[in-house]
Amino acid sequence: MAQVAADLAEKITQLKQAKKAVILAHNYQLPEVQDIADFVGDSLALSQMAAGTAADTIVFCGVHFMAETAAIICPEKQVLIPDLEAGCSLASSINADELVSWIHEHPNAIVVSYVNTTAEVKALSDYCCTSSNAVRVVNSIPADKEILFLPDMFLGSYVADITKRKNMFVWPGECHVHAGIRAQDINQMLRTNKTAELLVHPECSCTSSTLYDIGSGQVQKNAHILSTEGMMKYVRSSSAKQFLIATETGILHRMRNENRQKEFIPIKDDAVCKYMKKITLEKVYNSICNGVYEVKVPDRIADKARLSIQRMIELA
């Protein structure tokens, strides 16, 4: 089995060079997919890589909105996703019609969309953001301007807490994986791992209570709310030896590989995104071999969406 995977990985590497393709993978991808990628990172870093690559083809090992974002930034490149079924429950929690109705209720508001949204939703947005720059994006908007923040309610309330913004309305969307990481899961793990540092992704439903517990001194340990790449940077520089990780478990592969002397414990073993795991080595091979499945965004949508994505990259 291991030999089959190694042969496939070798074939992918050869094909990639022949076709001048680059493979970008999100931190939640399967270990073997991360291992054949040219670059592994969070949503923001992957957008930056897509914007800067000289390759003709981008094979995007992540979910559909990420490939769409790359296609919007690089309209002259071929962007492929190995499985069109790799969706995102959070991105599906708001569509363009729902956003149009919401904007009608707040005609003067600035629309800030998390990158986990469809191209149509981005086209209706003033700013796009990721978990690593959401606070910076909101802080860049004049304090007297109303903000519509979408679609993640946990990230939204975290950003409102940090920025102390009172005029920010938050869409009630959630990611099914992170919503399942609850305050009681954190508290239980804290009781049994007393010396570990705690890292929490802001999409988790426990984010606000964790922030409150840190602020009120109930959580004495070092606890940090970070994007997936923020977590990677943090564990690299911290002198701690043990970390509790509250996010999708795919990130543990890279954490363990890059930090051999440290221990990483998932808050929930079953925090697994079935959409991210749709991408397999076989599908990556098929994708690069047959040029499938091309992700294209119509110009009239891409041209509008690009502006909000560019603002996100400028505020990285």
Where does this chain bind ligand SF4 (CB under 6 A)?
63, 88-90, 116, 175-178, 248, 273, 275-276
Structure-token match 């979408």, residue found = 150
Q: From the list ligand SF4, ligand 13P, none, pick the one residue 308 interacts with, judged by a Cβ distance below 5 to 8 Å according to partner type.
A: none
**Which residues does 207 contact at the CB level (< 8 Å), separation at least 6?**
154, 155, 157, 158, 200, 201, 225
Please name every residue paired with 111 in a beta bridge, in sequence order, or none if there are none.
148
* Residue number with CB closer to ligand 13P (130 or 280): 130
Q: Tell me which of ligand SF4, ligand 13P, none is bound by residue 43, counting a contact when its beta carbon lies within the kind-specific cut-off of 5 to 8 angstroms.
A: ligand 13P
Strands (E), 125-255: 127-129, 147-150, 168-170, 197-200, 223-225, 242-246
Q: How far is the CB of 296 from ligand SF4 (least distance, A)?
A: 21
Closest contact distance (angstroms) between CB of 166 and ligand SF4 is 27
- Residue 228 contact, options ligand SF4, ligand 13P, none, Cβ 5-8 Å cut-off depending on partner type: ligand 13P
- Which of ligand SF4, ligand 13P, none sits in contact with 275, Cβ below 5 to 8 A by type? ligand SF4
Question: Smaller CB distance to ligand SF4: residue 34 or 116?
Answer: 116
Residue 33 or 109 having the CB closest to ligand 13P: 33
Beta carbons of 149 and 159 less than 8 angstroms apart: yes
Residue ranges in contact with ligand 13P by CB under 6 A = 27, 42-43, 116, 130-131, 175, 178, 203, 227-228
Tokens of residue 110, six digits: 């600035």
Nearer to ligand 13P among residue 234 and residue 285 (C-beta): 234
Q: Which is nearer to ligand SF4, 178 or 306 (CB)?
A: 178
Residue by residue, DSSP assigns 127-148 as EEE-TTTHHHHHHTS-TTS-EE
Length of the chain: 316
**Strand ranges of the sheet holding 21-26, from the earlier edge strand across to the other edge:** 39-41, 21-26, 57-61, 78-80
CB of 272 to ligand SF4, least distance (A): 9
